[in-house]
Amino acid sequence: MYAPVSDTQGGFDPALFLQKDSMTQPPELAESGDDLFEFQQELPPISPLPSGLDPRQLPVKINSISDLGPNPTEEAYASALVHGRSIHLPFLHPRTHSIPAGSITFYSHHPKLLALFTHFASHAASSLAIPISKVIMLPTERSLWTVIRAPFAYKKSQENFERKTHKRMIKAWDADPEVIDRWVKYLEKHSMGGVGIRVTKWERLPIGIGKTRLARVKEAFKVPVLDGVSSADAKLLEVRQEGDSDANRKQAIQALGEKILKEELRSSKEARSSAAAGTGTSGKPSTAQGSPSNSSAANKQDEGDVKAKVVSNKEIKPKSVPGKK
C-alpha cells in the first residue's frame, strides 16, 4: 500500500480523497455554463438582433413552415427550427434592381437527377444571398435514330431509338460577378454525374470605360508625321480631346477634302491653259495640212461611187459556148 503524500509535496493524498463519501453521495450536476466551466468573470450582455430576437432563445421552435406566414423574411426563415429544411424550397431573395447577373442551364437524360441537382443549386444560391428565379422548365430536346436489324434481305426489319435531353434553367440578378463565380465553382466541385451545366455570366464595366478605351486606341493607332506633310495638314487630321470628337473628326475630313479639291481644280486649270497656249501657235498649219487629206479622201469616195454606178448600168451578156452557134 502506498504511503500518503502530503499536499506540501505537491502530490495526491489518497487519505483525504477517501474521507469524502464519494460512493454514497454523487457529485452535483452543473445547472449552467458558469457552474460547468467555473467562469470567474462576467460576460458582457448579449445585444438583441435588429429584428428583436434574442440570440439566446434561438432557434425559434415552430410547428410547421406555414407558421412563418406567406412571405417570411430571410432572418425569420433562418432563425426558425425547420425540420428537413433541405427538402423545402429555398428562400428566394427579392430583387433590388433587376440587373441580370447570370444564368445556368442544366442538361440531363434523367429527370430525377435533374430535379435533385437544380434543388441543390437553388439552396446554394440562397445561402450566398443571390436573388434567383425558380427552376424554369425548358423544352425537351428529342432525338430519333432508325437502325436496321440485319443487312441485305432483312433490311425492312428496322428498330427505332429515342433519346430525350431534359433542360432546366435558373436565372440570377443583382449579384456581384465574384459571387456568381463562387456559386459556379461550388456547383462544379459538387457536380453530379449525368447532369451537365452551361453558365452564362454578365459582367459590369466601370463608368468611363469607353473614354479609357478610346484613349488607348488613339495611342495605339497614333501615326507619326511623315516627311513631306506640312504641319497644317497634320493639324487638320488631329482629333481634339473633346466630347464632340466625332464632329471634330468630320470637320477635319471635310476641310482636308476641300483642300484636295481646290488643288485638283487649280492643277486642271493650269493644264488646260497650257494646252490652249500650245494649240494657238501650232494649230493652224496642222489644220491647213489636214484639209487636202480630207479632200482626197472625199474624192476617192466619189470615184468609188461613180464606178459602182457604171458597173450597175453596164449590160451583161451571156458568154458564148465554143462549138455552138
What mean pLDDT, rounded, does the chain reach? 76
Kindly indicate the confidence band of residue 166, based on its pLDDT and cuts at 50, 70 and 90: very high
Does residue 210 form part of some domain? Answer: no
* Segments forming the whole domain that contains residue 120: 92-201
Q: Are 169 and 106 in contact (CB under 8 A)?
A: yes
- Same structural domain, 116 and 195: yes
Of 240, 233, 239, 227, the C-alpha closest to 256 is 233
Whether 279 maps to a domain, the answer reads no
Alpha-carbon gap, residue 125 to 106, rounded angstroms: 15
User: Mean pLDDT, to the nearest integer, of 169-186?
Assistant: 94
| Shared-domain flag, residues 62 and 158 | no
Number of structural domains (the chain) is 2
At residue 117 the predicted structure's pLDDT band, cuts being 50, 70 and 90, is very high
Residues 197 and 96 reside in one and the same domain: yes
Residues 150, 189 share a domain: yes
For 80-84, 103-107, 165-169, 276-280, which range has the lowest pLDDT when averaged over its residues?
A: 276-280
Among candidate residues 175, 201, 227, the one where a domain is terminated? 201
**Which CATH number fits the domain that encloses residue 153?**
3.30.70.600
Q: Are residues 98 and 72 in the same domain?
A: no
For residue 313, pLDDT over 50 is answered with no
Cis peptide before 59 (omega within 30 of 0): yes
Q: How far is CA 242 from CA 67, 215, 254, 312, in A?
A: 62, 12, 18, 88
Give the model's pLDDT for residue 316: 47
Cβ neighbours of 139 (radius 10 Å): 8
DSSP letter string, 112-172:
HHHHHHHHHHHHHHHHTT--BPPPEEEEEEEEEEEEESSSGGGTT-EEEEEEEEEEEEEEE
In the listed set 201, 227, 255, which residue is the last one of a domain according to the structure? Answer: 201
Same domain membership, residue 44 and residue 131: no
Shared domain check, 166 and 116: yes
Q: Within this chain, do residues 106 and 72 fall inside the same structural domain, yes or no?
A: no
Over residues 263-277, the mean pLDDT reads 88
CB 80 within 8 A of CB 68: yes
Q: At 319, is the pLDDT very low, low, confident or very high (cuts 50, 70, 90)?
A: low
- Lowest-confidence segment of 167-171, 193-197, 270-274 by average pLDDT: 270-274
Instruction: Tell me which of 41, 65, 88 is where a domain ends.
Output: 88
DSSP 5: -
User: Averaged over 180-195, what is the pLDDT?
Assistant: 94
Domain identity same for 112 and 195: yes
Separation between Cα atoms, residue 102 and residue 100, nearest integer Å: 6
Residue 183 has pLDDT above 90, yes or no: yes
Among 13-17, 86-90, 182-186, 257-261, where is mean pLDDT lowest? 13-17
Instruction: Answer yes or no: is 322 within a domain.
Output: no
Q: Are 199 and 214 within 8 A, CB to CB? A: no
Q: Which three cell numbers stand for residue 149?
A: 436489324
Evaluate if residue 267 carries a pLDDT over 80. yes
Do 68 and 120 fall into the same domain?
no
Are residues 99 and 186 located together in one domain of the fold?
A: yes
Residue 171 has pLDDT above 90, yes or no: yes
Looking at the fold, whether 84 and 39 belong to one and the same domain comes out as: yes
In this structure, is residue 177 part of a structural domain? yes
